[in-house]
Amino acid sequence: MKHVMSVVLFAALIFYGGLAEGQDVLRVFDAAVTPNPARPGEMVLITCRVSHIKGPTFIELVAASASQGDWNVSYPMLYDDGSNGDKKAGDGVYSKAVPASKVEGDETFVFIAVDKDNTEVESEPITLTVKK
């Protein structure tokens, strides 16, 4: 009976949009920048893990943005195919090798995932310390 109630509750959440609008459908987590700290202009690897309740084929794209003061840059495509710094294809970890800011200070990264329904989810910001 307890199992049946769990299934009914889960179905109701999906039907009424409880999960469809939340981060339980599309999740961005385990965001990281390595190495951290980094030297100005040094290549770093930005990574995050992304999952979707309907499976990895329902993830449309994963991107990132970086900012430091008035400086902003967008990385419109992170990869989970073993290229561009990604270590292993198909493991749910999206990556891209990018240069750290050329200016010392804290650089903030935010990761964005979009699914095939155009649901968009952002990660919590993470900080890269840039110093000589």
The encoded tokens of residue 87 equal: 């270590």
- What's the whole-number mean pLDDT along residues 10-29? 58
Let me know if residue 68 belongs to a domain.
yes
Rounded to whole angstroms, how far apart are CA atoms 33 and 95? 10
pLDDT at position 23 is 56
Model confidence at 10, in pLDDT bands (50, 70, 90)?
A: very low
> Model-level pTM?
0.81
Using only C-alpha atoms, the chain has a radius of gyration, in whole angstroms, of: 17
Let me know if residue 1 belongs to a domain.
no
Domain that holds residue 69: 25-130
Higher pLDDT, 2 or 93: 93
Cβ pair 78, 111 in contact under 8 A: yes
Q: What are the pLDDT digits (tens) for 24-61?
A: 899 999 999 999 999 999 999 999 999 999 999 999 99
Q: What is the CATH number of the domain that holds 122?
A: 2.60.40.650
Let me know if residue 32 belongs to a domain.
yes
Write down the residue that tokens 């100005």 correspond to.
Answer: 40
Give me the number of domains the chain comprises.
1
